[in-house]
């Protein structure tokens, strides 16, 4: 039985791999994408989502434009990592247009249509998801699962010493989600270790489309650079690991109370995981604490061959 999946995303190189893997996995049925500002502007993430679908010849999926900025701060983006326009690789100019529905409303509509047959994977900042939960507070009870890429529960951040990027971009949204969604959170504790073998990236770089472009997504640099220099340090593919976990259970979870620091200063955006139960708060977040790297690499490689 396939899992119906809605991906809330800010493509982004690792988002693109996650989308490709979801489209290719036989046990996943993607019902649509909602885009959010994060790795780059909303205009770019929406264009990138359409370009990814066009590259993969899967333009029949609805794409809904969501929130163009965080709830209460200016956008902090990551083009320095993902490239100009927010993504690497040779992508076609998209011809499709987003649907009329706002991304947050689209999430609610899909939850109402599919109910507990639907899983949501939020792999960008969680602004759309938090907004959808404000539009429909019962949303977490309506769907089967909500998976998150984000947070750094028991490890350091990748933007500040404490904060992971998706949470740092919109801590207010993240705070609402971890308090009310009862999600499965795949943060840097596991996704930093979710790497792709250098040999696979180099092999993809020598192949025809779409694999040469996927190599660029894997390596966060264009395929010609991969061919020229090779890959010395296998990169993490954060968002794809979360998507693979939905169907392959590659993460090990433990349940804890989690809060997000929405204050100012160097710990803004930190995910605070109460591993010792000192707060007495209800355990509300399934926190990923370990990953089966071999299973991730094997499943991802086998899945992408279905494209």
DSSP states of the chain = -PEEEEEEE---HHHHHHHHHHHH-TTEEEEEEEE-SSSS-HHHHHHHHHHHHHHTT-TTS-EEE--SS-SSS-----HHHH-GGG--S--PPP-----SS-HHHHHHHHHHHHGGGEEEEE-S-SHHHHHHHHH-TTHHHHSSEEEEE---SSS--SSSSSB-HHHHH-HHHHHHHHHHS--EEE-HHHHTT-B--HHHHHHHHTSPTTHHHHHHHHHTS-HHHHHHH--SSPPB-HHHHHHHHHHH--EEEEEE-EEE--SSSTTTTBEEE-TT--S-----EEEEEEE-HHHHHHHHHHHHTT-
Among residues 50, 82, 102, 238, the one annotated as catalytic is 238
Neighbours of 266 (CB within 10 A): 12
In the residue annotation, 238 being an active-site residue is answered as yes
Residue 210, preceding peptide bond in cis (omega within 30° of 0): yes
**Residues annotated catalytic, as ranges:** 238
């Amino acid at each position: 039985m396939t899992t119906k999946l809605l991906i809330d995303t800010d493509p982004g190189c690792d988002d693109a791999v996650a989308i490709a893997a979801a489209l290719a996995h036989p046990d996943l049925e993607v019902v649509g994408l909602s885009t959010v500002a994060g790795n780059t502007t909303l205009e770019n993430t929406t264009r990138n989502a359409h370009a990814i679908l066009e590259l993969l010849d899967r333009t029949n999926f609805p794409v809904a434009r969501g929130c163009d900025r965080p709830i209460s701060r200016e956008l902090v983006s990551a083009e320095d990592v993902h490239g100009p326009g927010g993504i690497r690789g040779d992508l076609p100019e998209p011809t499709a247009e987003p649907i009329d529905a706002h991304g947050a409303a689209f999430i609610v509509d899909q939850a109402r249509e599919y109910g507990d047959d639907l899983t949501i994977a939020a792999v960008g900042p969680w602004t759309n998801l938090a907004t959808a939960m404000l539009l429909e507070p019962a949303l977490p009870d309506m769907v089967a699962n909500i998976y998150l890429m984000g947070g750094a529960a028991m490890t350091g951040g990748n933007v500040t010493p404490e904060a992971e990027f998706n949470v740092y971009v919109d801590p207010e949204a993240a705070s609402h989600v971890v308090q009310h969604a009862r999600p499965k959170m795949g943060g840097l504790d596991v996704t930093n270790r979710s790497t792709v073998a250098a040999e696979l990236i180099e092999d993809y770089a020598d192949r025809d489309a779409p694999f040469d472009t996927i190599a660029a997504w894997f390596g966060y640099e264009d395929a010609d650079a991969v061919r020229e220099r090779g890959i010395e340090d296998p990169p993490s593919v954060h968002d794809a690991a979360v998507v693979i976990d939905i169907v392959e259970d590659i993460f090990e979870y433990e349940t804890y109370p989690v809060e997000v620091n929405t204050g100012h200063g160097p710990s803004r955006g930190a995910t605070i995981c109460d591993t010792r139960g000192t707060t007495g708060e209800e355990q509300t977040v399934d926190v990923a604490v370990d990953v089966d790297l071999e299973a991730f690499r094997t499943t991802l490689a086998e899945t992408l061959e279905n494209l």
